[in-house]
Amino acid sequence: MTLIITVLSIVAGISLYVGLLHLLIASGRLKPALNFCFGLSCLAIVGSILALIAEYKATNVDDYINARKLLTSVGYIYGITTAWFVSLYTNFRPVPLILVVNSLYCISLLINQISPTGILYSHISNLSSISLPWGESIPYPEATLNPLFIFQLLAFLSNTVFVFFACYLQYRRGEKQAALTLGLSLAILIATVQHDRLVDLGKIKFIYLGEFGFMSFVIIMSLRLSKDLIQAVKLQEQLLESERLRKIAVEVERNRLARDLHDSVSQTLFTVATIAEALPRVWKRNPDIAQQGLEELAQLTQGALAEMRNLLIELRPDGLADKPLGELIQQLTKAISGRATLQVTTTVEDDLPLSSEVKLVFYRITQEALNNIIKHAQATQVSVSLECDSQKIVLRISDNGCGFDSRQIPIPSGHLGIAIMKERAESIGANFHLSSYLGRGTEISLSCSIPILKIANQE
């Protein structure tokens, strides 16, 4: 009997390893209940294999009965844990049905423990032996079947219907691969258990194959659970990375808003405060100059108000989506006219409804271009035009500033440069063009065809 015991010992070792592994996984945060039930099922398989080895080694009726009762009891425990595992794996929620299936196993377990010879046999008179094809022999009982054995059959049949029904519902929900994997492992298991029932009934005289069906179930489902676990870990890592990037993006946006507040509103308000403080003294000496100061004060306050409106729009998630692009661009140009001594001309023709993505790209490029004009261009005149027709939408921004050699564009660290403006345009399929010459100013054009805009709106 060395070959059978060796093979069963290998199966027990595999099941023990897999069971302890999944119990360890269950101690973590990823599907703990599912892995806990599967780990218990694997340990129950180990117990049934050890009981089966003891049964094969039995030399008298008493040893055989004790081993048989232990084997049957552990099998019921396996049936209970497997029912819960299947319900968790397939998200089958009707708990009362699961409890009914488990109650049949519990009744069978109780009968098996109370009966002197277990639930399967009412009486065992003697042990004989059967020879196997490879030359080994195993004990075989000369016994009478117990009528209470019907409870075990009912428990097995109800559990079979339950697990396959759960697989069917999982398949209907679209989890086809998971349902087919579980269904295949259960089909192999149930086929081997049916073989064992025929051995119990005396129809076949051969070794029990249920433990090998258990091993196939362990291996197949362990590989499946491991695959799901790896995917869950990767998803969790992606979520953590997304959260990290989100926090970085929030911090970058906060810094940008703080910089914009400092560069625009705070400096404008400082200038307003200085002018307002000096005006009473200037008014006494020269009312005409004071009148110019009042006009400049009004212009600065209007620019600061427009800048604050722009910042408030950006702070609201739907701020850009609610307003037409032409209105947003007009607010930007109005804001910079209050921040610098610039003559700004804004033209908007046929403002079309655009998707939020397209609108954001046009808005950000306009914003960056105007900020660059204020900081670097030394311009006195700026022209911004937005034109729409049946074919495309075109944005042009030009100034009469100092210009630069467009073949050598510096990209300051930490700022949205020309290269990033190009990337923004490419993200929506728009065309970005910049022309600039030393002493002759700069012109930026951004164009996007109407078919592309319609696709963006549909998305």
Q: What is the pLDDT of residues 144-198, one digit of tens each?
A: 888 888 888 888 899 899 999 999 999 999 999 999 999 999 999 999 999 988 8
Per-residue confidence (pLDDT) for residue 416, from 0 to 100: 47
Question: For the whole model, what pTM was predicted?
Answer: 0.58
Average pLDDT of every residue of the chain: 83
Report d(CA 339, CA 267) in Å as an integer.
8
Q: What is the pLDDT of residues 438-454, one digit of tens each?
A: 888 899 999 988 654 44
CA-CA-CA-CA torsion for 238, 243, 247, 253, nearest 10 degrees? 80
Report d(CA 373, CA 335) in Å as an integer.
13
Report d(CA 121, CA 72) in Å as an integer.
12
Per-residue confidence (pLDDT) for residue 1, from 0 to 100: 57
User: Can you point out the beta strands (E) in 70-136?
Assistant: 121-131
Per-residue confidence (pLDDT) for residue 355, from 0 to 100: 79
DSSP 188-237: HHHHHHHHHHHHHTTS--S---HHHHHHHHHHHHHHHHHHHHHHHHHHHH
CATH number for the domain whose boundaries are 338-459: 3.30.565.10
Considering only CA atoms, which of 394, 301, 295, 294 is closest in space to residue 350? 394
Whether 220 and 185 have beta carbons less than 8 Å apart is answered as yes
Query: What value does the mean pLDDT take over residues 355-372?
Result: 84
Angle between the N-to-C axes of helices 450-458 and 356-372, in degrees from 0 to 180, rounded to the nearest 10: 120
Residue 423 has which token pair? 């990337």
Whether 441 and 377 have beta carbons less than 8 Å apart is answered as yes
Per-residue confidence (pLDDT) for residue 42, from 0 to 100: 94
Query: What value does the mean pLDDT take over residues 316-336?
Result: 75
Report d(CA 342, CA 399) in Å as an integer.
10
Which phi and psi (to 5°) does residue 96 adopt? -55, -40
Per-residue confidence (pLDDT) for residue 80, from 0 to 100: 92
Q: Greatest CA span in the chain, whole angstroms?
A: 130
Highest mean pLDDT among 113-127, 223-237, 266-280, 356-370: 113-127
Percent of the chain with pLDDT over 70: 88
Burial of 145 (0-12, 13-18, 19+ CB in 10 A): middle
Delimit the domains of the chain by residue range: 2-241, 338-459
Report d(CA 225, CA 34) in Å as an integer.
9
Please name the residue that has the structure tokens 């700022």.
Answer: 415
| Fold of the CATH domain 2-241 | Rhopdopsin 7-helix transmembrane proteins (1.20.1070)
Q: 3-class secondary structure for 249-263?
A: HHHHHHHHHHHHHHH
Q: C-alpha 22: how far from its chain's center?
A: 22
Q: What is the pLDDT of residues 266-313, one digit of tens each?
A: 666 777 778 788 888 888 788 888 787 787 777 777 767 766 766 666
| Model confidence at 263: pLDDT above 70 | no
Query: What value does the mean pLDDT take over residues 393-408?
Result: 84
Grade residue 436 by pLDDT with cuts at 50, 70 and 90. Answer: confident
Report d(CA 232, CA 221) in Å as an integer.
16
Q: Which amino acid makes up residue 69?
A: K
Report d(CA 295, CA 286) in Å as an integer.
15
Q: What is the pLDDT of residues 192-220, one digit of tens each?
A: 999 988 888 888 888 889 889 999 999 99
| Model confidence at 411: pLDDT above 50 | no
Report d(CA 397, CA 433) in Å as an integer.
11
Q: Which of 181-185, 223-227, 262-266 has the lowest mean pLDDT?
A: 262-266
